[in-house]
Structure formats: C-alpha cells, structure tokens
Structure 1
Amino acid sequence: MSDIIQLLPDHVANQIAAGEVVQRPASVVKELLENAIDANATEIKLIIKDAGKTLVQVIDNGKGMSVTDARLSFERHATSKIRAAEDLFQLNTKGFRGEALASIAAIAHVELKTKQVADDLGTVIVIEGSDVKSQEVSVTPTGTSVSVKHLFFNIPARRNFLKSDTVELRHITDEFHRVALAHPNIAFAFYHNGSELFNVPQENYRQRVVHIFGTKTNEKLVPVEEETEVLKISGFVGKPEFSKKTKSEQYFFVNQRFIKSPYLNHAIKSAFEGLLKDGYHPSYFLNLMVDPKSIDINIHPTKTEIKFDDEHTLYAILRAAVKHSLGQFNIAPILDFEQQSSFNTPYNYKDKTAAAPAIEVDRSFNPFADDSSSKNSSPKTSNYNNEYKSKPTPAWESLYVGLESKSNNSPSDFSEVTFESATKNESIFNDSTIETAKTTFQLQQKYIVSTIKSGMLVIDQNRAHQRILYESFLKHITIQEATSQQLLFPLQLHYTPSETKIIQDLKTNLEHTGFVFSELSTKEITITGVPVGVPESEVSIILEQLISDVENDVPDTNFSAADLLAKSMAKSLAIKNGQSLNSTEQEHIVNSLFACKEPNVSPTNRPTFITMAVDDIEKKFM
C-alpha cells in the first residue's frame, strides 16, 4: 500500500496557522500593536479603513529592523525572543512564537517599511498571499510601518463571515483599549476613515483611564495598591454606585498583558459583596505583576488566558486588597471601635449633679369657666398665662342659640333635610347575575392567571409587557409621531467616546421614540425631553442597556437599528418579575397583549402565555 501522509506546502500551512492567529481585523491590530511595543516604540499610530477590511496600518518610531530581519520576519517560527525552551517560562515581551506576520501575509496584501537608527536607508517589502512581490531599498523614517490591505482576499468564505463595519470596529476598539491601558508610557493615536477617534499622550495610569473612558470616570475610581512577595497589585476599581449592567469596563493586566480570568473576576465580585445591585457588575482596571516563571502564557492561541501556579493565593490577596481599598476610602461600611470625643461629658458638667425639673401647675384653671371667673383668678396665675392667653371663646350654650324657635314650629319635621349622593346609573343589562368578582389574579408576582372558555390562561407579565411596549415603540419610530415630555431640568449624561458614537448613530430613531437632545458630543449628552411614561431616573438605565445590546448584537443587513432600539427600550421599561400588580393593571396587560399583532411571543421570540384546557386539568385528578 502506498504512503498517504505528506508534508503540507508552506502557503497552505500558513493559511491554516492564520485561522488560529487571525480571526478578524481586530486580531491583526493586536499583533501589529504588540510588535510595535516590543520594538520599544514611544509613539504608535493605528490607521483603519472600512473597519479593517480595506486597510490596517500601524506606524511606530521603534528601533526598526535590518534588511535581513525584515525578510526573515515573514517566515514561520522566526522570532527574536526565544533561543531555548527555557525562555518560554520567563517571557517579558508580547509576541514570541513568530507566527503573526507569516499568518497575516498568507491571507492579505502586506507592505512593510522599516529602518534602523544607524542606517541611512530603509527597506520596503511587498507580500501578497505569502508570495514576496518585491524587496527594495527606500527612504523611510526610523521605525516600522506595516500596512495590511484586503484581508482574506484569497479566502472568500472567511471574508463573508465578517460582521458589519460597526461590529468589527467595536472589536478593533476593544483591542486598542487593552493595549493602550496596559502601556500608559506610550503615546497612541487611532484613526478610522480619516477621522481621529483617540489621541492619548504619554501619561500616568489614572490619566490614561480617564482619557479613554471619559472625564467623568475620574470621580468613579478608587485606587488599589498592594505589594507582597507573590504579587504586586496596582490600579483602580470603580465605586459601587457607578457599576454597570455590562462587563465592558473590566480589565486585568498581568505583566502588562491583557488577560481574561473568570476566577480572578470572582475575587473582585466577592470583594464587592453587598455593595452591588442584582445584575450589575463592578468596574476595575488592575495591573498584576508576578514572577514570569510562575505563569504560563502559551496555553491559548490569542494569549488572553494564563495559567497561574498558585491561583488560590492570588485570589485571596486580590480580594483582600480590593476590600481594603473600599473600606479605606469609606466606600464600604466598616466597624469603628474608636471612641468619639463628642460622646464624652463636657468638662464643666463632669462633677455636677443633675437638677430635677420643676413643674408649675395652675390648680384653679377651669376650661369651662366664663371670662368673669377668669378675672377673679389668682394674680399669680393671670400673670403666668397673660402672655399666652388665647381669645375668649363663647360658652357652650351659644351653640344652641336659634334652634329653639325652629323646634317650636316643627318639632320633628325633617322634610327639608337633603343629602348629596352620586347619580345612580341603571345597568344596560337586565341580567342581575353578572359577576363583579376579579377575573384575573397574580401568581408568585410573576404570572397573571385569567379564565377563558376552554380553561385557564397563564401569562408571563414581563414578556407580555415587553411585547406591548415593543410594538408601541416600533410604531412610533415607523410613523415618526412620538410624543415627548419636557424635563424641568436638562439631564446631562457622560459616556465613553465609543458609547457616544453608538448613541449618535441611533439619534434619529431615539428622537422618533420621544427623546429630545440639546447636545450630543463626545464629551457629554444633554437630554431635554423623554418619551411619555418614561421616568427621568430610568433614562440612563435605558441608554446603558441600549449600548450593551448594540455592542453585543449590532444589526446587520437583516435587522434594522429601529427594531433593536424598540427591543432594548421594551426590555428596560417592561414590568419586572416580582412586581405586584393590582387587578386593574393585570386586566390592562391582558387586554393590551391580545390587541398586539403577535401576542404569542415576546420580542425575543419566547412564549408570552400558555393555556390549560379543562380536560387537561380534569386528567390531573384521575
């Protein structure tokens, strides 16, 4: 039998490796930014076109590469960071496997320009699909510029799986945030389609967090500092009152590398125990410095997961450090055993005895006495009450003056007495057996139970109300005739630049639902009107939920932004499970639900009610 195993060609092996390293344009951004950081750059520019589908370019002022290094950088497993297997366990750099540029060059058009400080001229290399088209000497600034064009040009199936520009840009922005937060000592600039999204200078860590997430973030931060033999912690956590429903502001950096760790995230949540509302998540921006020999960062292709030698110790230290910071800055309640000086007895009264209170009683006071009798009262009493004496009131006999003459004429005639009463409306039905009892009742403050001809109807109050509000908001957006209620005082809200961009994209649809914006800039949002029935306290919650929904499920060509907006607002404003409803509210939900076009399902295609026939109930008793 002939041999069937053979070595793959290099270009095929590179495309397979690219499937692990390059999943979307954001993966290219991550690899190129990390290469620029490893080159000791102090200024890095990221230029994006069409959310990275057309162009991803990273320009740095690092140390550059020689002619030979520039050519070898596109070979598989070519790296400057590893010499022996032992080096894998004491890594202090970002990229180390030597697959990034080779994988990117296999699925895109790549142009590399690089020059070292000591050289007069640089090198330009053009590669298309692992095929080197040209390598020439050129005049170029010191540092490196890598341009990646037409990503997945030779793999149409992978290109078709890319999401909309909004989704891909959000992933690129997330990667930019992670790299920029991990390296506040480097200046970063981020441009998309010619417009500047971020431009942050070299600064300290607090300033970097504020520059990326907005100026209002400064008042939300609580510093965390702790240093032990095992771990050094520095960074910030957010105050509990500024917690969010999303996990968008949760960043762990281990040795200046962004990681995801559900285990360490649980340590933060346990430190916030009792301080957060249900469904809310804490914000944190924490740097952890550990011995490189105690971690393994080579367990995941994207290097966002790390294996720690002793996770339990890190968990305990991290939880204690965060809890200590919350208590130190009076965020969390703490027990205070120090005696306050205000509780001590004043010095002048220390040895004095308490005097018994004296009470004077006017024993001759008679509330039913005439004014003449009050004049004969003792001088002492009259002087005592002179200042607070009220006006004389007539004797009780005066209440009956005038009634005697009437009673003589008609001692028991009540014919002139009239009573006010409501007008009695006769029923239009002659049937006197109509039931006036409740037709609905609430079960477990979650379900509304109603009777129908065939049996019983059980409605999920939250899903039903979502369907009612969803169709109402969608109608207002479609006909563009929503009513708005003006606020007495404008409402000012602050979001990150990326979150503000989402609201700007949805501004027209938000205005059709009833929102009125007087200012909508990258720094702040000012709202002067809200939809009718929406309380002012719910506005920030609605917009946060909307931003979260857009980030997690941005509409593509098959779904409209109006539909997503209606779903998000309905989810935020719908009656929650656990809320008690009176009979009128229950009947209103039942009637409004069956007036909808699709009462059977919620906006997320989940059933809103179930029916139980009498026959099914009878079978339970057999």
Structure 2
Amino acid sequence: MLDIIQLLPDNIANQIAAGEVIQRPASAVKELLENAVDAGATEIRLIVNDAGKSLIQVIDNGKGMSETDARMCFERHATSKIKNIDDLFHIRTMGFRGEALASIAAVAQVEVKTRRPQDELGTFIQIENSVVLKQEPCACPAGTSICMKNLFFSVPARRNFLKSNASEMRHIVDEFIHVAMAFPQLFFSLTSNGQQLFHLEAGNLKQRVLQVLGSQYSSKLVQVKEETDYMNIYGFVGKPDAARKTRGEQYFFVNNRYIRSAYLNHAVGSAFADLISKDSFPLYVLYIDLDPAQVDINVHPTKQEIKFEDEKIVYAFVQAAVKHALAQFSIAPSLDFTLNADIQQLDAVNKPFTEQRKETLSGSQLFKTFTQSHQAHKIEPDEKSELKHWKEFFTAPKTEDISIALTQPEGESNTGFSLYDKPAAHQLAEDTLLLQLHTTYIIAATQSGFLLVHQQLSHERILYERYSTAIHGRQVATQRSLFPVTLTLSPPDAVLLSELLPDLAALGYLVEPFGKDSFVIQGTPADLPQGNEKHSIELLIEQFKHFSSDVKFSRREKLVRCLSRQQAIKAGQQLTQQEMRSLVEELFTCNTPNITPTGSPTYIEFKEDYLDRMFGR
C-alpha cells in the first residue's frame, strides 16, 4: 500500500503562508516598511500603482544586504532577529517571523536591489513564484529597494477577492500611517500613481501627529507623560471638544508597534467618562513602553493583537495617566467658585434680611417644626398646618384651561398594524391641528385615536427611501452654489471621498477634485439648506469611516444610511403646522413608514379603546 503523507514543496508551503501573512496589498506594505525600519533607514519611500495591485515599491537608505543575505532573505523562516528561543521573548524589532519576504515572493514578481555602504557594487535579484530567475551585481545607492509587481498573479482566485482600488488604497494608507506615527524621527513619503500623498519630514512626536491628523488639532492636544519602573506611557489625547460622535482618530502603540485593543480603548474612554457624552469617542495617540518579556506579540499573524502578562496593571496605568494629564491641563471637571452675575439680581442677595423679616419667618409653624427638638416628624392638623392646600396640586385642571385641542379628522377608521406589515396610511383631515410636544414629537388625531410621531426618526425613514431611489437610478436635483466652497482633507479622507464621488453625484452633491487632498463643493441637493456644505461633507466622511453594524452593507447602502441619519431634522427643532403636516403625510407614502432603517419605530398609535381602558371606562 502506498504512503499518503508527503512534504509540501516549498513554493506551495510559501503560498499557504502567504495566505496568512499577505492578505491584501496593505499587508505587503506593512511588512516591507517594517523591514526598512529594522534596517536602520532614516528615509523610507513607498511607491504604489493601482492600489498596490500592479506595483508596491519600498526604497530605504538602511544598512543594505550582502549578496548572500539578499538571496537568503527569501527562504522560509529566514531572519536576522532570532538566534535562540529566548530571543522570542525579548523582541524589540518589527519584523521577526521570517515569513514575509518568502510569502511575497510566492505570490508576486519581486525585484531587489541592495548594497551595503562598505561595498562598491550591490546585488540585483529577480524572483517569480519562489524561483530565482536572475542574480547579478549592479550599481545602486546604499540601502535596499524592493519592488513587488502583479500581486497574486500566481493565485488568480485570491486576486479576485481584492476590493476596489480606492478601498485597497485606504488600507495601504492606514498601514503607512501606523508605521510613520511609530517612528516620527524618520522621513516617510507615499506616492500613488505618480502623485505624492504624504511627505512627512523627520521631527518630534507632536509634529508627526499633526502632519498625519491635520494642523487643526494643534490647539486641541493634551500631552500625556508618565514613567514608572514597570512601564512608561507618553503621547497625546484630544481635549473633550475634539471628541466625535463616531470612533475617530485612535492609535495605540506598544514598544513602537501599532496594536488594536478594545481593553485599552475602554481604559481611555473611562478616563473621559465625565467629560464627554456617552455616545462620543475621544481622540488619542498613545505610546506604551514596557519590557518585551511582559508582552506576547506573536499571538496573531499581523502582530496587531497582543497579550499582556498583567492586563489589569496596564489598564489601570493607562486610565490614571490620561486622567492625570487632563487634570494637569485643567480639563477635568472642577468646582466653579466664580459668582454668576445673575445671582446678584436675586431678592435674597439684593434685599437685606431685616429683624422684622426674621421674626416673621421664625414664628411660622413650618420653621418651628424643623427647628424644635424631636419635632422633625411632627405634622399639624389640617386647620393649623400651612400645608393644608397640598391636595390642590393633584386636582385635575378644568376643561377650559386646556388651550390646545386636537380635532378629530373625518375619514375612514384605520386598523392596527404589525411592525412586519406595511400599515395602512393615516389620512389627516385638512382642518386637523397638529401639536409638537417637547420639540421632538408630533401628536396627530385620527378617527380611532391619535398618533405619536417622532420627528427625527420619521424624517430619517423618508430620506432613506428618497436617497435609496436616487442612488439606484432617479438622480436627486442639484442646486449649484453661487460661491463654491473649497474643502481640504487629510490624505486618508481624501482617498475615501474620491471613492464616494460617483455615488454622491447621484444624491445631488457636485464635488470635484481640486489638487492634492483638496476638493471644490460646486453644488448640493436642491432641498438642502445652503451654507453648511463643508461641515456636511466632513461629517459624512467621519460617519462613513466608522460605520458600525453587524451586517456587511454595500458602500452605497452605508452612504445612504449615513446621509439619511445626518440630514434628518433633529429632536429639539421647532416645526410649523405646514412642516409637521408635510412630514406626517410624506411618512405614510413610504414603503415602510413604521420603522427606521435600523429598526426603531417612527410612530406609535394610541387606539380609542386603549385610551378608554386607561381611564377605566
């Protein structure tokens, strides 16, 4: 009988490893940038074409490689970082697994030019599908240039799973930012399709943070710096007014390695607990330095998830450091002892407390009740007590005191509805008077009771169906601006907006590129108030970036949901009779008028028989 277990050939083993390490172009960018940092480079340049699908090139001025090392670096598990097993627990470099270059060579056409400063000639190597096609001496600058072409050319099925160029480019920009922010003392640049997106000069940490996030945060950062024997933490948190309603710019670095940690994110959030609303998220860029033996960074192939030996200590330290920083800069809440000018106008301050006034008050029965010994529980009989009129507080108001009455409309009575069936439209009579309650709800009488309509949720449903129709064919009318507004974004947001431009055009937004990271807003939807176009686009991008849902929605669906939520009239906005009537009538022309896109009810119907039962009739 033949044996059935056999060793995989190296090229197949490398492709399997590539499936774990190189999941998309951004994965290769991360590995190559980290290798350049480990090589001691002071200048690192990243060049990509077609979002990395056709070209990814990293050029550095590091220490380079000898001819033998240049050949060996593409072998499986070849690394210069680990000599024995103990080294695994004291890792301070970025790339150490020894799989990245071998994996890249298995799924792309790779060309390497490298030279050490002490060598006269460098080495050129060309590899395809893990096979060395060419190796020869060459003239090149000191350092290393690695060029990846046609990613996944040997695995067409994997290439088919890649997203659009704009989407893949966003991931590349994210990985670039993670490495660039970890090493502010190095120069980084990113060029895409011949256009330079980033040019980050070497500098200090605050300069790098502002280079990446934008100079608008210059006055909104609070420095964090705490040092102990166990760990050090430094960096910046945003002031409370820099918090956003969506998960904004949040970065954690442990030993200069970007990580994702919901646990540490909660620690920062708890430090801001009394400073920002519960639905807001603080900005932070925090760096933790601690003994590598206290952290395991090899629990995930991308090394972006790590485990601490003692998570509770790290959590408490992060929380305390952020709180201390906020308190130091007078950001934390404190008692305000300054006297409000309005208080000076009160009778208690203005008028003196005369002896006559004192005798009048001290002679009252209520004063004696609370001041005489053992009398705090005493209640006088009705005829003597000053509280004898307490029952009047609970007396029902007279009918004539009610200033607003709801007129019952004439028309057919409506039956109840289920949340899962389209309810019958409620026809409002022309003379029906609508009432706005707490500038949030609209009360509308019906033949069989009344409706309690939530104005914001109802408008969200109306806009959602309108935008859904527009983005799938019937384009929204655009109102051109008399004075177009220029919008400048950070490079990652500029890449995202470029991706959304065709869909925004269908929704009535006319936005055109205007040089590097800038756009001109030429027009907005015709029914949108003019004058706030810039903030509207910025908020839309922020919501879209951090769209949270358990369901994987398409880009268009996410855009429609974000826009309908953003443009809906908010609770607290005063509405006229005509506006309320239009809102209610338009709500019942929707295909699904009773719930929002997220499943919240837009209105509640109170039937007459239910009202009767409430009053025992």
Q: Could you tell me the TM-score, scaled by structure 1's length?
A: 0.72
Q: Determine if the alignment matches structure 1 residue 66 to structure 2 residue 61.
A: no
Question: Residue 367 of structure 2 aligns with which residue?
Answer: none
1:441/1:450 contact within 8 Å kept: no
Among 525, 533, 543, the alignment partner of 1:548 is: 543
1:90-129 pair list within 5 angstroms = 90-129=90-129
CA 1:147/1:525 → structure 2, altered by over 3 Å: closer, same or farther? closer
Specify the SS of the correspondent of 1:45.
Answer: strand
Specify the SS of the correspondent of 2:218.
Answer: helix
Question: Residue 316 of structure 1 aligns with which residue?
Answer: 316
Q: Determine if the alignment matches structure 1 residue 467 to structure 2 residue 443.
A: no
CA 1:501/1:6 → structure 2, altered by over 3 Å: closer, same or farther? closer
1:396-407 pair list within 5 angstroms = none
Gaps of 5+ in 1: 341-355, 357-426
> How far apart in 2 are the matches of 1:293 and 1:164?
41
**Structure 1 residue 214: Cα displacement:** 1.6
**Structure 1 residue 250: Cα displacement:** 0.6
> How far apart in 2 are the matches of 1:102 and 1:518?
42
Partner AA of 2:196 in structure 1: E
Deviations 1:364-419 (A, max 9, x none): xxxxxxxxxxxxxxxxxxxxxxxxxxxxxxxxxxxxxxxxxxxxxxxxxxxxxxxx
Question: Residue 194 of structure 1 aligns with which residue?
Answer: 194
1:19-418 pair list within 5 angstroms = 19-335=19-335
2:462/2:586 contact within 8 Å kept: yes
2:485/2:533 contact within 8 Å kept: no
Q: Which moved more, 1:572-581 or 1:250-259?
A: 572-581
Q: Which moved more, 1:469-478 or 1:321-330?
A: 469-478
Specify the SS of the correspondent of 2:478.
Answer: coil
**Structure 1 residue 61: Cα displacement:** 0.5
Among 568, 587, 600, the alignment partner of 1:593 is: 587
> How far apart in 1 are the matches of 2:202 and 2:444?
62
> How far apart in 2 are the matches of 1:565 and 1:300?
32
**Structure 1 residue 5: Cα displacement:** 2.5
CA 1:550/1:534 → structure 2, altered by over 3 Å: closer, same or farther? farther
**Structure 1 residue 151: Cα displacement:** 0.7
CA 1:559/1:250 → structure 2, altered by over 3 Å: closer, same or farther? closer
**Structure 1 residue 251: Cα displacement:** 0.7
Query: How high is the sequence identity, in percent, across the aligned residues?
Result: 47
CA 1:508/1:292 → structure 2, altered by over 3 Å: closer, same or farther? closer
> How far apart in 2 are the matches of 1:65 and 1:84?
22
Partner AA of 1:498 in structure 2: P
> How far apart in 1 are the matches of 2:230 and 2:14?
40
**Structure 1 residue 312: Cα displacement:** 1.2
Specify the SS of the correspondent of 2:80.
Answer: coil
> How far apart in 2 are the matches of 1:459 and 1:109?
61
Partner AA of 1:548 in structure 2: Q
Deviations 1:209-245 (A, max 9, x none): 1111222121221111111111111111111111123
1:105/1:129 contact within 8 Å kept: yes
Question: Residue 482 of structure 1 aligns with which residue?
Answer: 478
Question: Residue 361 of structure 2 aligns with which residue?
Answer: none
CA 1:611/1:177 → structure 2, altered by over 3 Å: closer, same or farther? same
CA 1:48/1:505 → structure 2, altered by over 3 Å: closer, same or farther? same
**Structure 1 residue 527: Cα displacement:** 7.0
Deviations 1:131-165 (A, max 9, x none): 22111111111111111111111211211111101
Among 569, 573, 587, the alignment partner of 2:567 is: 573
> How far apart in 2 are the matches of 1:456 and 1:505?
46
2:166/2:495 contact within 8 Å kept: no
Q: Determine if the alignment matches structure 1 residue 496 to structure 2 residue 459.
A: no
CA 1:44/1:73 → structure 2, altered by over 3 Å: closer, same or farther? same
Gaps of 5+ in 2: 340-351, 353-408, 412-428
1:67/1:123 contact within 8 Å kept: yes
**Structure 1 residue 329: Cα displacement:** 1.3
> How far apart in 2 are the matches of 1:443 and 1:330?
35
CA 1:232/1:579 → structure 2, altered by over 3 Å: closer, same or farther? same
> How far apart in 1 are the matches of 2:506 and 2:19?
43
Q: Which moved more, 1:121-130 or 1:168-177?
A: 121-130
> How far apart in 2 are the matches of 1:535 and 1:599?
30
Q: Could you tell me the TM-score, scaled by structure 2's length?
A: 0.73
Specify the SS of the correspondent of 2:219.
Answer: helix
1:504/1:520 contact within 8 Å kept: no
CA 1:98/1:218 → structure 2, altered by over 3 Å: closer, same or farther? same
Specify the SS of the correspondent of 1:219.
Answer: coil
2:441/2:452 contact within 8 Å kept: no
Q: Which moved more, 1:293-302 or 1:325-334?
A: 325-334
Partner AA of 1:133 in structure 2: L
2:480/2:522 contact within 8 Å kept: no
> How far apart in 2 are the matches of 1:202 and 1:87?
30
Specify the SS of the correspondent of 1:299.
Answer: coil
**Structure label with greater radius of gyration:** 1
> How far apart in 2 are the matches of 1:450 and 1:85?
77
